[in-house]
Each structure stands twice: as C-alpha cells, then as structure tokens.
Structure 1
Amino acid sequence: MAGTAEFNLQDIDRIITQEDAAELLVKVSQALGRELARRKLTTHQLRNLFGEIRRIEKEWQQRQGQGDKLDPTTWRRLQLLKPRMAHQAARLQDRGHAMQPLIEVMERAIDRIEQDPERFRRFVDFFEAIVAYHRFYQEKR
C-alpha cells in the first residue's frame, strides 16, 4: 500500500517531521483508512493499538509533558508497538495481511519520531486520523 500512487513512505516522513503537513496527513490517513477497511481490518483491532498509543501519550504527559526529548520510558513503549503490531497480525492468521500496510506505515512513523515531543504529537494525530477514516470507510461497506 505504501508504494501506491496515493502516497509513499517519504510522505510518512513529512507527516511526522514537518508541522505544515496537515493536508498530507489527511490525504494519507484517508487512503490508509480506506485500504484497511477494504482489507477488512476490524475497528477493534485498530482501536486496541490506538488505545495503547493514547495510554503512552497520557503517561508521558503525566511524567513530563514538556521538554525537548521524550523520556526513555515513553520512547521504549513506542518502540515496543512494532512487535505488538506484528504479534497482532500473526494472531489474525489468514487475515494477517490486513494489517500489513498499517505495520509498514507505523514502523516508519515511529522511527521518524526520534524522541521529539512535537513529532510524537503529530504521530498521535496521524494515527487518530487513520482510525477515523477506517471507521468511515468501514461503515460505507
């Protein structure tokens, strides 16, 4: 999916690293949400990951919330989302391919955060938009 004409992995880099990429965030999250709905990824599976991202965000805000770098605990938990997504895809067995575009995009996005709090906020916004568009396209089926 990430290599399609709708977006590429460099778009993910811009979404996470550049403050002025809001329009691109919308375009890519819409394309990814549509693709995940087409692949029949369930809302439950997506919201499980989003719930974990929100917990990470809340705990980070409680620990420090400000600063020029994410604390080590937050950074570690973000990194651990990668194997968590892989495990979730493996549990889906024959439907594990449904998560593949999400895994590819999220791994790239997490890597681009580079412990920067503003990039982390953009990552959360991006994932939230993916969840919203997935829900929208899932309802249209």
Structure 2
Amino acid sequence: MMRGGSNVSDAQLQQILSDVPRIINDPKTADVLVKRAEELGQKLVTERLRMAQARDIFDELRQIESIWLREPERALRRLHLLRPKLAYRRARVRELGPLAEVLERAVAEVVSAGDAAQRHDRFRRLMEFMEAIVAYHKFYGGGD
C-alpha cells in the first residue's frame, strides 16, 4: 500500500459498487471490504473531497448507530431518510459523488433485509465499511 497511490478509475468505482451487496450482506467478506474501502478512499482524495464533508456523513451514521439498539424503528427511519440527504449533498458537492453513490447502494442493502436482526447486522457492516473509507481517505492525504 503506497501513500498517494494511483487514481481509481470509473471502472474501479463500478467494481466497488458491484461489491457493495457482498460487503453489506456477507460477514465473511472483510477482505473485500478493506480492498474496496482503500480504493474508494483513494478516489475521494483524487476527487478532492474534504475530510469535513466525509465526516458529516459519518457523523450522521454514528447518530443512527447510537439509537439503533434503543429505538430500531426510529434508526431505520433515519437511515431511509439518509438517502435523500445524500442525493441533496451530492447535487451540491460534486466531489461527494462517488461516496454518495456507494453509500446509497449500501443503505439500500441494509433496509432491504428481511428482519430486524439482519438489518442490524447489515448496518454494522455498513459502519465498518464507512469507518474504513474515512480512514483510507485520511491515509491517502484527504484533509480540509
């Protein structure tokens, strides 16, 4: 792994997007999660996404996480409502596009789960993915 590595192409972004269902649905794909998070973190640096913009979304997810066990229906509602927020932010901040696209797909996987326990497991994997993306974004030089 080299700091400042190569640009992540649009084809690689499509591969990341195609792997999102596996990352969110399958607990045995930590290796794929790490690989795709690194690629996306690099792409976000290339796109010049500021850390504060990524952190805003991460903070929203953390708030949802904090209420999930106490009020799962409220948390699920907030997760549903994150999708239009992502669309709005993506329209305002072009650099957010790849992250918003990946997260929209990940959220769709979480909310489509068959039962509450499965949704919670998928949400935890979404959080792991987002944590890894933010970490790699910082590692590859993402800043404010």
The bucket for the TM-score relative to the shorter chain is: 0.7 to 0.9
SS of aligned partner of 1:87: helix
Quote the residue 1:123 is aligned against: 126
* Aligned mate of 2:97, from 82, 100, 122: 100
Quote the residue 2:39 is aligned against: 31
- Write out per-residue CA displacement over residues 46-87 of structure 1, whole angstroms, 9 at most, x where no aligned residue: 000000100100011233xxxxxxx32111111111111222
After TM superposition, the structure 1 = structure 2 runs for residues 57-96 of structure 1, keeping only pairs within 5 Å, are 57-63=65-71, 71-92=72-93, 96=94
TM-score of the aligned structures, taking structure 1 as reference length: 0.82
Q: Distance in 1 between matches of 2:130 and 2:16?
A: 16
One-letter amino acid of the counterpart of residue 99, structure 1: L
Quote the residue 2:23 is aligned against: 15
Quote the residue 2:60 is aligned against: 52
Shift in alpha-carbon separation, 1:24–1:5, aligned structure 2, 3 A: same
Q: In structure 1, list runs of 5 or more residues that go unmatched.
A: 64-70
Aligned-pair identity (%)? 40
1:124 offset after TM fit, Å?
A: 0.6
Task: Indicate if the aligned counterparts of 1:34 and 1:134 stay in contact, CA closer than 8 A.
Answer: yes
TM-score of the aligned structures, taking structure 2 as reference length: 0.81
Q: Distance in 1 between matches of 2:42 and 2:50?
A: 12
Paired residues in the alignment total 129
Q: In structure 2, list runs of 5 or more residues that go unmatched.
A: 1-7, 114-118
Shift in alpha-carbon separation, 1:90–1:9, aligned structure 2, 3 A: closer
Q: Distance in 1 between matches of 2:26 and 2:9?
A: 19
* Aligned mate of 1:133, from 126, 132, 136: 136
Does 1:4 find its partner at 2:1? no
